Structure 1
Amino acid sequence: MDHGHHELTAANRDTWDSKAKDYDAKPWQKKIASQVAEALTSHADWLGAHWASTENRGCRLLDYACGTGSVTRALSTHITHATGLDISPAMLEQYTALLSSSHPSLHISTAVADFCSPSPDHALSGPEFHNFNIAGVALGFHHFSSPATCLSSLYSHLSPSGVLFVIDWLPNTVKAEDHVGSKRVHPESVQEEETEEWKKMKKTIKTNGFEEKDMRKLFEGAGFEDFGFVVLEEKFVLEMNGKKVEKTGFIAKGRKV
């Protein structure tokens, strides 16, 4: 039994359940959501999915670690069906509520799922959970206990020639001069001044970013071909533990054989 996986999953579920109702409420969170949307819409052709067409061709999206649905909303004009999967039931409730009101013509479904689990979830074995044209993970990858297991699971749920993308960030370190307001944070004092929210969030973070070579190895190890990697120009700015933290984002993609 993988106790590390179960502990991280429990920490993630607890954290995201508690944050579901105000997950996108803060200005910096809204800004990041808009950056994710812009990255996806501006790279839609580059992603190369079989998008929905005027000839009534449908496109089915698997939005994994979907949260409140920023990926689904960003791609709503390119798809006809969206399935949101998340380990947090509270996030799925928000996903359904927000999308059903803002995108009533989009076919929406959800399910609780943990694609990092070493044991397959037989509840997701039905045809409605397979043959997706595109699948994506946006800013959840660094929380996963086993990114390789997750990519293999996503691969199995795509259709032949289906595309997977991951939006996350490159590794970097927090600089002491990055701060919110006038309060300066020194490296030696960060540990003493950690907020309770940050202590809780830290428990959910597995990896401090990924390099292109890391993502290529993961994608190709899961069986994907046509690997692509684009670094995003505008940095993500997070406000964590009283500091502004800049992260350089990327989109990685691959195609199922």
Structure 2
Amino acid sequence: MISDALRERKDWIGIEWASLSEGEVKRDVKLLDYASGTGNITQALLPYVTTVKGIDLSEKMVEEYNRAASTSGIPPEQALSVVGDLCSASTDIPDHFRKPEWYSFDLAVIGLGFHHFEDPGLAVQRLSERLRKGGVLVIVDFLPFGSEERDMGEVAKTIKHDGFTREGMERLFGDGGMGAVKFDVVGDVTMELKKGTVVRKMFVARAEKL
């Protein structure tokens, strides 16, 4: 559903894509897939960008991302994920993330990882720093769902926020030096958790680096 939500909102996201039609001259478009998981965001947007760099906390997720890319015939110079953390106040950013290749992204996307971040405001600020001027940060997450809906499994321990409101996202973007905010409710997402079936409402939000 995340993949469909993003593809259906290509114009809404508001960047110049590498190409949208066959035969069109490609522009260089860099995507940062943050909290990249197994690569769903990358797979959804790869036809419209030229290069993707993924970052995830989990070594296992990074391995699965890179394995899936390789299996799909995608070379590492086009899409590659690495282990890392740019958004924690308690973690020093390694020197290799200070190289030019980790800056000036046209687009950064977080797909359902935002509610796991200890400090969402810091995350917006840190990812905004990675964008070129006019670059876009897209966040896909849930509207407030209440702590009583949390799964009682291990994943629940990593949930730091019970969803976000439109006003909350606008404030986070603004405090992070971003503007031209858009917020769109996608619809219901059904998930099978240990406690049973849970339905949550998903949104897509975007903002530009000023």
TM-score by length of 2: 0.90
**2: CA distance, partners of 1:43 / 1:111:** 27
What's the CA shift for 1:174? 7.9
Name structure 2 gaps, 5 residues minimum: none
**2: CA distance, partners of 1:248 / 1:128:** 35
**1: CA distance, partners of 2:65 / 2:135:** 23
What corresponds to 1:44 in structure 2?
A: 10
Residues 47-105 of structure 1, C-alpha deviation per residue, up to 9 Å, x if partnerless?
A: 01121032221211100000000000011111110101011111111111101221526
**1: CA distance, partners of 2:92 / 2:12:** 31
What corresponds to 1:62 in structure 2?
A: 32
**2: CA distance, partners of 1:104 / 1:209:** 34
Given that residues 100 and 108 in structure 1 are in contact (C-alpha distance below 8 angstroms), is that contact kept between their aligned partners in structure 2? no
Is 2:62 the counterpart of 1:109? no
What's the CA shift for 1:199? 3.1
**2: CA distance, partners of 1:102 / 1:151:** 31
Range moving further from structure 2, 43-52 or 107-116? 107-116
Number of matched pairs: 203
**1: CA distance, partners of 2:92 / 2:146:** 35
Given that residues 231 and 250 in structure 1 are in contact (C-alpha distance below 8 angstroms), is that contact kept between their aligned partners in structure 2? yes
Given that residues 60 and 132 in structure 1 are in contact (C-alpha distance below 8 angstroms), is that contact kept between their aligned partners in structure 2? yes
What corresponds to 1:228 in structure 2?
A: 182
**1: CA distance, partners of 2:54 / 2:131:** 14
**2: CA distance, partners of 1:175 / 1:205:** 12
After superposition, residues 1-257 of structure 1 pair within 5 angstroms as: 35-53=1-19, 54-104=24-74, 107-118=78-89, 119-121=91-93, 122-173=95-146, 198-233=152-187, 235-257=188-210
What's the CA shift for 1:243? 1.0
Given that residues 115 and 149 in structure 1 are in contact (C-alpha distance below 8 angstroms), is that contact kept between their aligned partners in structure 2? no
What's the CA shift for 1:252? 0.6
Higher strand residue share: 2
What corresponds to 1:20 in structure 2?
A: none
**1: CA distance, partners of 2:73 / 2:30:** 15
Name structure 1 gaps, 5 residues minimum: 1-34, 177-189
**1: CA distance, partners of 2:96 / 2:45:** 26
Letter in 2 for 1:134: L
**1: CA distance, partners of 2:92 / 2:191:** 34
**1: CA distance, partners of 2:73 / 2:140:** 23
**2: CA distance, partners of 1:47 / 1:120:** 31
Higher helix residue share: 1
Letter in 2 for 1:167: V
